Amino acid sequence: MEWVESGGGPLVAVPETVLPFWAGADSEDLATDYDRACEVDGYVGLLPVGDSTALVLGDEPASTSFLPDHGTFVRWSAANSEEELLAQVPAALDGAVWENEIRWQVPGPVVLFDSAWPGGEAEGGDHLRVPLEPGTYAVRAAYTRPGPETWLGLVQLRRLQP
């Protein structure tokens, strides 16, 4: 599995079509895109980018991957191994206490990366391309402890019918 790491700030999933508009921490503006991402309160939030919207994965800067079979970003907080963490995902999804859903409109695939980086640099660094279909997604998040030594965050995407 591919895992995306952060240098300490939030991760962000930006639609490929607007990657060049994400400036990260490199901006002349008083409030950079990275600053805006850091202001997101809670596990997830949305920020405008170009003519689209990015999904910010807030809270802690945990290693994150995407499980397409579950439509879920998995955030590794604690586990002895990747295998142990992945084995706990079904139980975590079943027992999760979800926050309120938000709606996220995407034009197609998104790229997950450290919000401090400019979007144009995400292609060559620590990033993960998530092949989402264009449309509106219900996004919900939870933090779970499915095992005594396994803690993980979940950000689940469910495509809504047009």
Beta bridge partners, 88, equal: none
- 26-83 residue pLDDT tens: 877 678 999 999 999 889 999 999 999 999 998 888 999 999 999 999 999 999 999 9
- Under 8 Å CB-to-CB from 18, ≥6 apart: which residues? 49, 50, 51, 52, 54, 119
When pLDDT is cut at 50, 70 and 90, the band that residue 88 belongs to is very high
Structure tokens at 4: 């995306």
Torsion of CA 140, 144, 150, 151, to 10 degrees: 70
Q: How many residues does the chain have?
A: 162
